[in-house]
């Protein structure tokens, strides 16, 4: 690994190898963790997957996740796609060989986690995956193929599990949405089975962000991701002998002007179980395009207007993580 330092933390570059090949990654270690004397303490880890044309440090700059990590003391790892795998540097979420466990890009991304765990004290029960656009679609695949690794997921302007199985289907899903989310939800559950033999889960918490003015990925994909993982969680519930799984939807209308100037109006949909614990959230940001909201500075794919997606994603992970593991 190659290290680079700053006053806020340290970048560590590495390479992970698996059955599907190898990819470079960059790990951000906040200074509070790097200098901690609590050697026995374990830290949460967030994997954040970039969108097309981007790299690790692009994603860090767009999302501002490193700043959230510094405040809340967790590690962030940014895997990088390569042009030899995809000319646009998109994660190949739409190709069947990259939609299964122990194969393709999922195997490589799981190896990234293993590599980080080999060098840092990572809390195995608090490893999360998030992604934007193509990275969001791949995050859904990772949650289904490696439920023994990831405790919750975040999808920003992405898609449901296995929304496409070819390039043409990928463009169609981005424009109109993917297949029936109830069918895909059951398919995701079937895909999870092998991973669940290593670590059981009773739920897979999900938070979704999408701009209503996104012309690259139709916002219907946000609805489908919620419906798909709702069905998957229903199937997980049934597998644990639970009956009467149902979610109650609570809608909050708001604006986020406080620390982020001129915040967008948004609708926050919270999906609660019978015990009132939230399992999923969907944030629809009125007027936001295909860009990360709450970005530290304006760019083509980063919008400084709130809500701060990175802060809300971490808040959701922190609150929902323990909800996913099956009780013993």
168 is catalytic: no
Rounded CA separation 326/47 (Å): 22
pLDDT confidence of residue 256: 55
Whole-model pTM over 0.75:
yes
Residue 72 domain-assigned?
A: yes
Classify residue 186: in a domain, yes or no.
Answer: yes
Phi-psi map region of 104: left, alpha, beta (phi>0 left; psi -120 to 50 alpha): left
Total domains in the chain come to: 1
Catalytic residue among 133, 140, 310, 324: 133
CA–CA–CA angle 247, 283, 27 (5° rounding): 105
* Nearest-angstrom CA–CA distance, 31 and 45: 15
- Give the per-residue pLDDT at 34: 78
Query: What CATH number did the domain enclosing 307 receive?
Result: 3.40.50.1820
Q: Which two tokens stand for residue 95?
A: 């190709």
- 60 and 66 in contact (C-beta within 8 Å)? yes
The pLDDT value given to residue 5? 46
Structure tokens at 2: 């190659």
pLDDT at 32: 85
Residue 328 lies in a domain: no
Instruction: Give the pLDDT confidence score for residue 262 in this predicted structure.
Output: 73
For residue 56, tell me if it sits in a domain: yes
The reported pLDDT for the residue numbered 35 is 74
pLDDT of 131: 98
**Residue at 228 is within a domain:** yes
Domain region containing 64: 2-323
CA distance 119 to 25: 14
Q: What is the mean pLDDT of each run of 10 residues along the chain (328 residues)?
A: 60 96 97 72 96 96 97 97 97 98 97 97 97 98 98 98 98 98 98 96 97 98 98 97 94 68 89 95 97 95 95 96 56
Q: In this structure, are residues 195 and 147 in contact, taking their beta carbons and an 8 Å threshold?
A: yes
């Amino acid at each position: 690994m190659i290290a680079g330092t700053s006053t806020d933390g340290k970048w560590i570059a590495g390479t992970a190898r698996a059955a599907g090949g190898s990819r470079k990654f960059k790990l951000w270690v906040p200074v509070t963790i790097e200098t901690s004397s609590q050697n026995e303490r374990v830290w949460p880890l967030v994997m954040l997957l970039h969108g097309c044309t981007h790299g690790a440090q692009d994603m860090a700059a767009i999302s501002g996740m490193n700043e959230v990590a510094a405040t809340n003391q967790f590690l962030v790892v940014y895997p990088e796609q390569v042009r030899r795998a995809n000319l646009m540097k998109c994660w190949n979420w739409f190709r069947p060989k990259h939609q299964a466990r122990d194969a393709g890009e999922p195997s490589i991304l799981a190896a990234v986690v293993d590599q980080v765990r080999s060098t840092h004290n990572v809390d195995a029960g608090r490893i999360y995956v998030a992604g934007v656009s193509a990275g969001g679609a791949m995050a859904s695949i990772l949650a289904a193929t490696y439920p023994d690794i990831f405790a919750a997921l975040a999808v920003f302007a992405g898609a449901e599990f296995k929304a496409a199985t070819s390039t043409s289907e990928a463009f169609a899903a981005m424009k109109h949405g993917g297949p029936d989310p109830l069918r895909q939800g059951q398919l995701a559950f079937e895909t999870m089975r092998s991973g669940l033999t290593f670590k059981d889960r009773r739920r897979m918490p999900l938070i979704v962000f999408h701009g209503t003015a996104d012309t690259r990925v139709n916002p219907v994909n946000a609805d489908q991701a919620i419906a798909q993982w709702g069905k998957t969680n229903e199937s997980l519930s049934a597998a644990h002998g639970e009956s009467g799984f149902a979610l109650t939807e609570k809608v909050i209308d708001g604006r986020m002007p406080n620390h982020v100037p001129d915040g967008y109006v948004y609708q926050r949909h919270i999906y609660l179980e019978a015990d009132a614990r939230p399992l999923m959230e969907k944030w629809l940001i009125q007027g936001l395009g295909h860009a990360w909201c709450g970005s530290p500075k304006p760019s083509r794919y980063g919008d400084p207007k709130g809500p701060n997606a990175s802060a809300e994603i971490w808040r959701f992970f922190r609150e929902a993580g323990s909800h996913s593991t099956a009780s013993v």
